[in-house]
Amino acid sequence: MASSSSRTHLWLHLLYLVLVLVQSGCLLQVADSTTGIGVNWGTVSSHKLKPSTVVDLLKQNRIEKVKLFGSDPDVLQTLMGSGIQVMVGIPNEMLATISSSTAASDLFVRQNVSRYMVKGGVDIRYIAVGNEPFLTSYAGQFQSLVVPALLNLQQSLARANLAAYVKLVVPCNADAYESSLPSQGAFRPELTQIMTQLVSFLNSNGSPFVVNIYPFLSLYGNSDFPQDYAFFEGTSHAVTDGPNVYSNAFDGNFDTLVAALTKIGYGQMPIVIGEIGWPTDGAPGANLTAARVFNQGLIYHILSNKGTPLRPGVPPMDIYLFSLLDEGAKSVLPGNFERHWGIFSFDGQAKYALNLGLGNKLLKNARNVEYLPSRWCVADPSKDLTDVANHMRIACSAADCTTLDYGGSCNGIGAKGNISYAFNSYYQLQMQNSQSCDFDGLGMVTFLNPSVGECRFLVGVTDTTTAHSSAFTPPGRWCAIVWMSVLWGVWVFLM
């Protein structure tokens, strides 16, 4: 039995430790059950902002969760000390190596995770093992690699003493499951066995199921899909499923996954939305108004905590908007809209008013963006442009001209406008090299902005990279140590 004075001393010690936990954010981690709003930060861009500019943009907008598609050292170095929770990614092409070699998984963890998780380092919470590896278009090429890669990486995290803090996840496309009604949701037959193994692994290691849901793609790929069902403002095409009524595609898709998880015995599995959003250009229906209405409706819907018919009052654990910035060098194989998902344009300027529910009512623009000089390359109006087609083809094969196509914001600027847009896109890509505006004498440099309405003729940004850091300690293992001290103290006190 502890004496009165020693118990008083112990209480003071415990009080001090709890105060330290509160100040460090460890208690907030345990208590906070609100859905986290994060963003995907992709970097497949012709005009890259400096990572330090992007991290500043995230902090200005109070975005505390970011999902990466790789583990770029410049990006991770710049996230040092930011306090932002990070998901790093392993590309599908690396799965074969990591699944067959513990040395390779050890190396990945050492180079891309543990080296950054130091005092003043990066708060890495997740490793995304592959990106939509079960996509039907991959025809099963990554299917057998996912679980062995997870097992190797879990061992590597354990060896690095990070397994309790860094969780492994596998972002899945919504085509991994199917159904005509949400309550009948099931994983694709060829995936049932592997999904059972995967979800069992996630469950035993405290990881959520990560899924990417895109109502826009349902609308884009199906002319019969009711447009108002893609949004959150009510619909005349509600889906009735027994006692449940679905008024938006997101809830229907989410509950189809819940039903699929229930069928394999994991109906309570936490779900994270790894990607969701709406593009602003490059296709009919991809515009600023639709993107704003969808994203704002989504955020208000999620933060209302209403949940869905199969999970009332239980919204997703986190959602990551797709995406932070436009990526003008992405493949357009899925469609021209693929380069225009950003809530910010490539240069970090907000495209529309959006309240993320994180404290700012409007998005704040990137600061201190370093632009090239204000000049543009356009078609010389005094020249005969009849033989310009080949020049346009060359310019647009290198630069991004997706806004010129049907449904794009620059689709209606006329033939000469199209030529000028293509010339300028190439000129900016070449960092305004004077020779890149020649086009056999058909181009000329102007200092008058040729933008028309919503059709914006861009000016490039410089792409020098500088790293940044400040003091931050990822709470992980340190929090656990302090918590153990608190619990030990309570036990001694009660003896």
Active site residues: 132, 275
CATH number of the domain encompassing residue 177: 3.20.20.80
Length of the chain: 495
Q: Which residues pair with 271 in a beta bridge?
A: 209
One domain, residues 330 and 390:
no
What is the reported pLDDT for 26?
45
Evaluate whether 118 touches 68 at the Cβ level (below 8 Å). Answer: no
Are the CB atoms for 83 and 106 separated by under 8 Å?
no
**Whether residue 403 sits in one domain with residue 334:** no
Supply the pLDDT for residue 137.
95
Do 272 and 382 lie in a common domain? no
Are the C-beta atoms of residues 444 and 437 closer than 8 Å to each other?
yes
Which amino acid makes up residue 312?
P
What pLDDT score was predicted for residue 474? 41
Class of residue 1 by CB neighbours under 10 A (exposed 0-12, middle 13-18, buried 19+): exposed
Structure tokens at 327: 């990526």
Instruction: Let me know if residue 120 belongs to a domain.
Output: yes
- Residue 82 belongs to some domain of the structure: yes
DSSP secondary structure code for residue 60 in this structure: H
Same domain, 293 and 407: no
Give the pLDDT confidence score for residue 485 in this predicted structure. 46
pLDDT at 29: 36
For 109, the domain range is 35-339
Low-confidence stretches of the chain (pLDDT beneath 50) = 15, 17-32, 465-495
Rounded to two decimals, what is the model's pTM? 0.87
What's the confidence (pLDDT) of residue 13?
55
Report DSSP state, residue 328: T
* Residue 483 forms part of a structural domain: no
Query: What pLDDT shows up at residue 34?
Result: 80
Number of domains the chain contains: 2
Query: Is residue 167 within 8 Å of 126, Cβ to Cβ?
Result: yes
Backbone angles phi, psi at 132, to 5 degrees: 50, 50
